[in-house]
Structure 1
Amino acid sequence: MNRGKGLFLVITGAILWGIGGTVAKKLFQQYEMDVNWLVTTRLLIAGSLLLLVQFFGKDRPQVFGVWRNKKTALHLIIFGLIGMLGVQYTYMASIKYGNAAVATLLQYLAPAMIIVYMLLIKQSVLTRRDMVAVSLVVFGSLLLLTNGTFSKLSVPLSAVIWGILSGAALAFYTLYAIPLLKQYDSMVIVGWAMIIGGGALSLIHPPWQMNFNTLNLEAYIYLIFVIIFGTMIAFWFYIESLQSLSPKESSLLGSVEPLAAVLTTVFWLKVSFGIFQWMGAACIIAMILLLTTNKNSSSKPTQLSKRG
């Protein structure tokens, strides 16, 4: 029963993440919503809700205990500003200028970037699995972005740049969070990181500076979905799934996210996907599956969801 619940939670959470990106594209496309405002609002509300869940649930003292150590507090602030805000902003910008399918798949360049970082900086050994993974992501990205026509891109260059930056931000996010996760619950770390990132961006674009008259009931429903279901509940479900599934299983099943993003982009938003783009998407998803089934992979980074 517990395992069945865990499977339901992680798959549902991953699907919500994927659909959330597509719904955000709908807000950008149909209602011309400002990406700065959406990222600010999304981070502040979702982060507050996650901390409330933690406060009224288990390990209440951790919610504020994370600020008692100056070194940890500084680490958390850097993580919130560069890691969380970096991931969220670049991802949403890539969606705005391109689409959720391409943005999500480009963000999954992060595992390959981590492999390269470990090789160059940590001087780790290049395994056959690593070589296959990097080859899959390079070849898959070329097909995804060119649809087999290498003389031109199938999506705007700005979307590609933001997407690659999103992958780099996610790589930093994953690696930098490890020491924090050894001390505190991931819900506390992500909740505060969201508030830090959202608070910093609100200094540039305050959440109350928005022409709400341009939004109708449908727009508010989409907005609530992105913030509550596509962010807060998706992350919560992922964390809860770890109570009955191993981190490797949760990470593997979490790879449903890019598939959900691709399918909703193609069938709901009617964005055409060429045969070579489907092949590219398949290569990237294969890379995700290859790395998440690695027996030697660390369990800690997988416990910190990329979406948060």
Structure 2
Amino acid sequence: MTLAGGICWGISGCFGQYLFQQKDVTSNWLVSVRLLVAGILLLAIGRWRMGKDLNAFFHDRKDLRKVLIFSVFGMLFCQYFYFSAVEYSNAGTATVLQSLAPFVILAIVCIRGLRLPKGREVIAVFAAVSGVFLLSTHGNIHNMMLTEQALFFGLASAAGAAAYNLLSAEMLSKYGVYPVVGYGMLFGGIVLTVIVWPWRYGLIWDSGTIIALFGVIVIGTAVAFSLYLKGVSMVGPFMGSLLGMVEPVTAIVVSFLFLDTKFQWIDLVGFVLILGTVLLMSLRSPGREATKKS
């Protein structure tokens, strides 16, 4: 599930690239709309499948507060700060900075468990981040535009990514995907909508726009986050964050096949590092981290 969620993100990134380049869509508009629409879609499905149980956490003030925190500081912050980092630099720089999330998660997991990081964990983090760096910059550090604003927003997106990995597991185990992810997206979308007023933006509406929006909202948001976060609740936030790094691998392959993106030999090294990380972490016993955490 975690890998499938990362693959869906990689596919949706190509749809997003198409919207930015061909339809003059802005990141503020896209993030607010994708959260709102995906949240409504998941809640509609959840209402059909769960009935009144969909709103169970509203009866527990403590759990409601947890969902709100997850919604704003995890779901919203990760996406909004990531696209802000792209705006102040480029997609490669933003992706590399956001990929630092496993460092944050590993530090928190180790502090919670009162232990030092294991050798395999350290190797996996460095291999995954190195792979993301190679795929995002083609091995050329000069392709990174590390302005002060990009650094701030990129690190903030990494913190947001760590937050939604760490904050979601307990609530998902207790209430399920539809209420937690659905309301998480809806609440985050409402907050951002109040800030950016997406209805003020003009948009070119045609079949290409509709298909691309379907890819971003349904595949890359509703399906991707549901699969990924459900997987994280099983394997734990640290392993989940590393498995989710299959996203740039998918994005590169899809971009090469459908968007005429150039493929370089150094990208193969990035592929090997990331897929090697996935293999390394998959050798762990299932649910080990999640069990220790609970």
The alignment's TM-score, normalised by the length of structure 2, stands at 0.80
Inter-partner Cα distance in structure 1 for 2:205 and 2:169: 40
Q: 1:141-175: CA deviations, max 9, x gaps?
A: 554455444xx432433697455443321111111
Q: 1:69 is matched with which residue?
A: 60
Inter-partner Cα distance in structure 1 for 2:275 and 2:138: 17
Q: 1:60-110: CA deviations, max 9, x gaps?
A: 2332221111121112111111101012223444566534x7766664443
Residues 66 and 43 of structure 1: CA distance in aligned 2, closer, same or farther (over 3 Å): same
Look up the equivalent residue of 2:24 and give its one-letter code: E
Task: Give the count of matched residue pairs.
Answer: 283
Q: 2:215 is matched with which residue?
A: 225
The alignment's TM-score, normalised by the length of structure 1, stands at 0.76
Q: Is the 8 A contact 1:105 1:284 kept in 2?
A: no
Identify the structure with the greater helix proportion.
2
**Aligned-partner SS, 1:298:** helix
Look up the equivalent residue of 2:27 and give its one-letter code: V
Q: 2:9 is matched with which residue?
A: 17
Residues 89 and 239 of structure 1: CA distance in aligned 2, closer, same or farther (over 3 Å): closer
Inter-partner Cα distance in structure 1 for 2:17 and 2:86: 6
Q: Is the 8 A contact 2:54 2:178 kept in 1?
A: no
Residues 43 and 142 of structure 1: CA distance in aligned 2, closer, same or farther (over 3 Å): closer
Residues 84 and 33 of structure 1: CA distance in aligned 2, closer, same or farther (over 3 Å): same
Q: Is the 8 A contact 1:107 1:166 kept in 2?
A: yes
**Pairing 1:110–2:106 present:** no
Deviating more after overlay: 257-266 vs 191-200: 257-266
**Aligned-partner SS, 2:25:** coil
Look up the equivalent residue of 1:85 and give its one-letter code: L
Q: 1:297 is matched with which residue?
A: 289
Q: Percent identity?
A: 32
Select 1:55's aligned residue among 40, 47, 56. 47
Unaligned runs of 5+ in 1: 1-8, 302-308
**Pairing 1:153–2:142 present:** yes
Q: Is the 8 A contact 2:72 2:187 kept in 1?
A: yes
Within-5 A mapping of 1:86-125: 86-93=77-84, 98-99=90-91, 107-120=98-111, 122-125=113-116
**Pairing 1:178–2:149 present:** no
Inter-partner Cα distance in structure 2 for 1:94 and 1:272: 23
User: How much is the aligned-residue C-alpha RMSD, in angstroms?
Assistant: 3.4
